[in-house]
Amino acid sequence: MTRLSVNINKIATLRNARGGNNPDVVATALAIERFGAQGITVHPRPDERHIRRSDVRALKPVLTTEFNIEGYPSDDFMDLVLEVRPAQVTLVPDPPGVLTSNAGWDARGQKALLKDVIARLKGAGIRTSIFMGTDAEQIGHAADTGTERIELYTEPYAAQYPADRAAAVEPFVKAGERAAELGLGLNAGHDLDRANLRYFATQVPGLLEVSIGHALVCDALTFGLENTVGLYLRELR
């Protein structure tokens, strides 16, 4: 079964909109674990507009499932993850101030940077994943960086899914096959939801983990958080 890691950034966004500590990010993450999710994902950004560095430090000692921290490998980010030492760091190529991740790495052009960062993370015992598109050549360059996994950027799949789901998933199937050939583990995330998740998970070979935040939190407003986590896990089964 593909593992579900819940991105809790939107929980922090809601808290920050009002101030105080409601909803409690740590308590919500622990509840999500109790409800059956196999991981918690956070993406601390430089402006701390959702997840704060203090949240990251508070989460690490209490989580019992996989802790995945996403981010651009700036000096501040690297200091944080090397201090906290999560199970996995997912490297994204976001420039400062971007609203949300919107592209994979140019692993060919940024190979030297990625090699250096990944070597530091692996030296600290942290599994690495890098955010990637579906281009087979770029996935080959990603393998050269030393990363253990890649995370496929799935917004193009989600956008095309309503019109032609077979065409939408085809590049991701090929990317999964290429990753397997290269010995890379495979994660995926961005705009996956209850409508498109099951088809993606059943079609893409070797899919180990999906990271889902925005859609899951939106569904929780209608169905409740516990029921929503169960609904997403059902799609993955």
Active site residue 70: yes
Active site residue 50: no
Q: Which of 33, 50, 66, 70 is catalytic?
A: 70
Q: Helix 9-18 to helix 25-34 angle, to the nearest 10 degrees?
A: 150
Q: Which of 33, 43, 50, 151 is catalytic?
A: 43
CA distance linking residue 5 with residue 33, whole number of Å: 9
Amino acid making up residue 222: T
Q: Which of 151, 190, 209, 235 is catalytic?
A: 190
Instruction: List the one residue out of 156, 151, 91, 86 whose CA is nearest residue 124.
Output: 86
Q: What is the 3-state secondary structure (H, E, C) of 81-107?
A: HHHHCCCEEEECCCCCCCCCCCCCCCC
Alpha-carbon distances, residue 225 vs 77, 147, 170, 228 (angstroms):
29, 33, 32, 5
Contacts (Cβ under 8 Å, ≥6 apart) of 21: 15
Q: What share of the chain is helix, strand, coil (3-state, %, to 5)?
A: 45, 15, 35
Active site residue 137: no
Hey, which residues are catalytic here?
43, 70, 190
